[in-house]
Amino acid sequence: MPASIPPLPAAEPADVREVRELARTWADASGLRGWLTTVDHKRIAKRYVMTAFAFFALGGIDALIMRTQLLRPENQLVGPDRYNQLFTVHGTNMMFLFAVPVMLAMGLYMVPLLVGARNVAFPRLNALGYWVYLFGGILLWVALLSDTGPDTGWFSYVPLSGPEFSPGKRVDVWAQMITFTEISGLISAVEIIVTALKCRAPGMTLGRMPIFVWAMLVTAFMVIPSLSMIATASQMLAMDRLVGTHFFNVAEGGDPLLWQHFFWWFGHPEVYIIFIPATGFISALLPAFTRRPVFGHNAVVLSSIATAFLGFGVWVHHMFATGILQLASSFFTATSIMITIPTAVQIFCWIVTIWTGRLQFTTSFLFILGFFVTFIIGGLTGVMLASVPFDQQVHDSYFVVAHLHYVLLGGGAFPLFAAIYYWFPKWTGRMLSERMGKLHFALWLVGVNLTFFPMHLLGLDGMPRRVYTYPDGMGWTGNNQLATAGAYVIALSVLAFVGNVLWSARRGVRAGDDPWVSDSLEWGTSSPPPPYNFARPPVVQGRAPLWDRTPDAPVVVGLATDRREILVTTAMDAEPDHRHPDPEPTIWPFVAAIAVSVFFIALMFTPWAVVFGSALLFPPLVAWGWPRRPNQAPGVTTPAEGGA
Amino acid sequence: MPPDRRSPDRLTIDVSVLPDTVFGHRGLVWWGTVGFMAIEGTTLAIAAAAYLYLRTNAAEWPPRPTANPDLLIPTITLAVLLLKLIPYGLAERAAKRFDLAGVRRWLVIGSAVGLLALVLRWFDLQALNVRWDTNAYGSGVWLALVAHTSLMATDVLESAVLTAIFFTDRVQPRHFSDVEDTAIYERFLSVAWLLLYLLVFLGPRVL
């Protein structure tokens, strides 16, 4: 494998006239109009990532308030009612508005580039997904700031969240926010599946598809059943509250455990919806920093698929304390331990890759190493929690809080930061500062461990989670103080990161097109990429397209430059199949998202919202799909000319 | 497609000779349609799962004094939903021939039958003999019906819009391909209803 020889560019430099015409064809309108109407997957995904980080920061401030409240016993900074809203919104925000959307957004940005496509499969739908997500997120935060924040935990267990014990609109905000974000997530999943399967560059057979794209594909396939589940379940909860259905009402034959089954059948796979893309980041980044391909390509891909299947078979381990059958407990203990096998296979493959590679200790690589340490601690406490007697002992204690943060920050945030340091030059054309990056990494590593390690001990000492304060003399004060100090170190680390991003985006070192001398297709176009990504679709000759490319690689010609056109290939072998018109920018997804928002928010108050909400949504959807006159859509052949 | 030699030392793959209108699984819209069928199918399966789970909590199904659902109108609705597949199947065949008149005719008939089914669905809801807020059984059957009805209503509107496009001068080759995807979606909707009908209307008699 070439270590320092610069690779050949993936795409042939197309002639100047062609490139100029492409630039004109794919350009967005300028100013606000362009901003609202764009259907460029890169602009939309960048927006998703930035919005998700804005929610991450808000959720972090929320956490800091909670940690400050817990700094000493009997603290009066925040009362119990406000505290309930704070921890509910923190968890809800971090899962639904940060972790899942940011992972899918990374896929929406990178998958088309990694497969050599010009855009995602359904660009207008993609725009709708973003706007719906944004409005759902604003709903949650406006509710918190107006003292209507949900207050029944991020999983909103019934009967606490039912009409009897939670009157008012707080839980309805939660239920509708779920609907917003899950619609957005489901749209992203369909985008990723169809882009990965139908828009790959010629030659990129499934066997050559990058591991990261596999990871996003597997994730998208998990998103469809799991996010459909929570969207439906949250509507059932909303109906129990609004129109008096009895799904979860024991008195009329309903069942609160039905909620828990539905919630965790979504909730546990969701952990893998966050984790599998993160494993994809690691597999995508390691070749650049070890100067070799990932060891065991097939084993890593198959492990992702196995994890996805097993991920739907472990949900009851969240319900060990509900008195389910002992046989069921044993079964779910077994599956919960079994799911460590594919993860272990991946981790061993990465360790071999690192062991046999020539290492480059960049910030990105340090975050990968941090992932190993932190995630493995979280994984091991997960194995402990899979054991019923231990789970019964620490259920609802700070031990669980420690475990889940180690898993989500270790398995999600560390790889995410690694990926951002790696792809930032792709997005902006500039490098993030390595010096600031290393400061960010050091503070993050110390902060995460200082905050969450003491929580294991607090849990073992019996401190329950979701309490706004604790009495003096319990022996919990010291560890709480350590955790609070850690939270402020995390805050400093995030400030270092934000500062680095803001400074580097304007003044960072210019990156060139391929600063890491990487193997994969996204580095075969300019950094940042032009709106059409690739002037000519690249042709892929191996698993490492840039490293495997021969000087006589074929060139794809004949894709239109005077109108937006993409190449669609076959699902298995990526043989060129047909040309597909890519839609023009339009305002209608934005307008439709506003209609959706009015619909869903009104549905918190009246079931008639279904009628007038649909009526409101219909016109923008018709306008969206209504075709232009054929002579206004140049280049589309008539039925007689265009063969079927 | 095999690359052809354009210059002595360079292979080129000329995609301009490829079609820009294709049918079935070759097309992107087909894949999108299948994706949304998977999402909506999951939603309907969840409604069925909720119904079956709630069944385990009751000694009798439907719980006394709730009556069994009536069968006459719902069976007619089912028949109409299955019959609807005929005009959509014919529209699909006409679309593959780019037969504009045929597509127009069968889409109009298909949309009209769809509208009829939607009207009948209103009476299906009456035939349940229970309100959504009577008990958990009522909530379960209403969920199944409302979930499917919302898909039907959306489908009738979508189908009407596609039909309308075929009566304008804006029709493009890709719309013929859309007709096939619509026909596939209609099959999904009708088969899904066949399963839910068995569960909701025959289920109480056998479960």
What local confidence, expressed as pLDDT, does residue A13 receive?
Answer: 58
State the nearest Cα–Cα gap between B39 and chain A, in angstroms.
Answer: 6
Whether residue B32 lies within 8 A of chain A, CB to CB, comes out as yes
* Strands A555-557 and B10-14, bridge-based pairing: parallel
What local confidence, expressed as pLDDT, does residue A5 receive?
Answer: 43
Query: Looking at residues B112-127, what average pLDDT do you find?
Result: 97
Which of the four pLDDT bands, split at 50, 70 and 90, describes residue A440? very high
Mutation target among B22, B39, B97, B207 for the A interface, most CBs of A within 10 A: B39
CA dihedral A63, A65, A68, A69 (to 10 degrees): -110
pLDDT digits (tens, 9 = 90+) for A547-589: 998 888 888 999 999 999 999 999 999 999 999 999 999 999 9
pLDDT digits (tens, 9 = 90+) for A492-517: 999 999 999 999 999 999 999 999 99
For A583, phi then psi, to 5°, come to -65, 150
41-70 of B, contacting A, C-beta below 8 A: 42-43, 46-47, 50, 53-54, 57-58, 63
What local confidence, expressed as pLDDT, does residue A549 receive?
Answer: 87
Q: Across chain B, where does the E strand assignment appear?
A: 4-7, 10-14
State the nearest Cα–Cα gap between B75 and chain A, in angstroms.
Answer: 26
Averaged pLDDT score across all residues of chain A: 94
Counting Cβ atoms within 10 Å, is residue A4 exposed (0-12), middle (13-18) or buried (19+)?
A: exposed
pLDDT digits (tens, 9 = 90+) for B136-177: 999 999 999 999 999 999 999 999 999 999 999 999 999 999
Query: Looking at residues A18-33, what average pLDDT do you find?
Result: 94
pLDDT of B178 > 90? The answer is: yes
CB contact under 8 A, B140 and A247: yes
The number of CA neighbours under 13 Å toward the Cβ of A442 is: 6
pLDDT of A208 > 60? The answer is: yes
In Å, how far from its chain's centre is CA A478? 35
81-140 of B, contacting A, C-beta below 8 A: 96, 98, 132-140
In Å, how far from its chain's centre is CA A629? 39
Contact residues, chain B, for A202 at CB < 8 Å: 13
Whether residue B27 lies within 8 A of chain A, CB to CB, comes out as yes
Give residue B24's region: left, alpha or beta (phi > 0; psi -120 to 50): left
Report the candidate in A250, A212, A614 with the shortest Cα–Cα distance to residue A418: A212
Contact residues, chain A, for B141 at CB < 8 Å: none
What local confidence, expressed as pLDDT, does residue A175 receive?
Answer: 97
Q: What is the pTM of this model?
A: 0.94
pLDDT of B201 > 70? The answer is: yes
A518-522, A640-644, B131-135, B145-149: least confidently modelled range: A640-644
Q: Token pair of A378, please?
A: 């979280």
User: What number is the ipTM of this complex?
Assistant: 0.94
CB contact under 8 A, A198 and B31: yes
CB contact under 8 A, A568 and B54: no
Give the 3-state secondary structure percentages of chain B, helix then strand then coil, rounded to 5. Answer: 75, 5, 25
pLDDT of B91 > 70? The answer is: yes
Query: Looking at residues A18-26, what average pLDDT do you find?
Result: 94
A148-152, A229-233, A537-541: least confidently modelled range: A537-541
Query: Looking at residues B79-99, what average pLDDT do you find?
Result: 97
Mutation target among B64, B139, B159 for the A interface, most CBs of A within 10 A: B139
pLDDT digits (tens, 9 = 90+) for A327-360: 888 899 999 889 999 999 999 999 999 999 999 9
Pick the residue from chain B with its C-alpha nearest to A610: B150
In SS3 terms, A282-329 reads as: HHHHHHHHHCCCCCCHHHHHHHHHHHHHHHCCCHHHHCHHHCCCHHHH
Report how far residue A414's alpha carbon sits from residue A411's, in angstroms, rounded to the nearest whole number: 7
CB contact under 8 A, A255 and B57: yes
Pick the residue from chain A with its C-alpha nearest to B57: A253
What local confidence, expressed as pLDDT, does residue A3 receive?
Answer: 43
CB contact under 8 A, A121 and B53: no
Q: Which residues pair with A578 in a beta bridge?
A: A568
Angle (nearest 5°) at CA A572 between A567 and A575:
40
Q: Is A361 helix (H, G, I), strand (E, B) or coil?
A: coil
pLDDT of A124 > 50? The answer is: yes
For A553, phi then psi, to 5°, come to -60, 140
Counting Cβ atoms within 10 Å, is residue A248 exposed (0-12), middle (13-18) or buried (19+)?
A: buried
CB contact under 8 A, A577 and B157: no
pLDDT digits (tens, 9 = 90+) for A589-611: 999 999 999 999 999 999 999 99
A268 within 8 A of A500, measured Cβ to Cβ: no
Q: Output the CA–CA distances (angstroms, integers) from residue A487 to A77, A449, A452, in the order listed.
A: 17, 10, 9
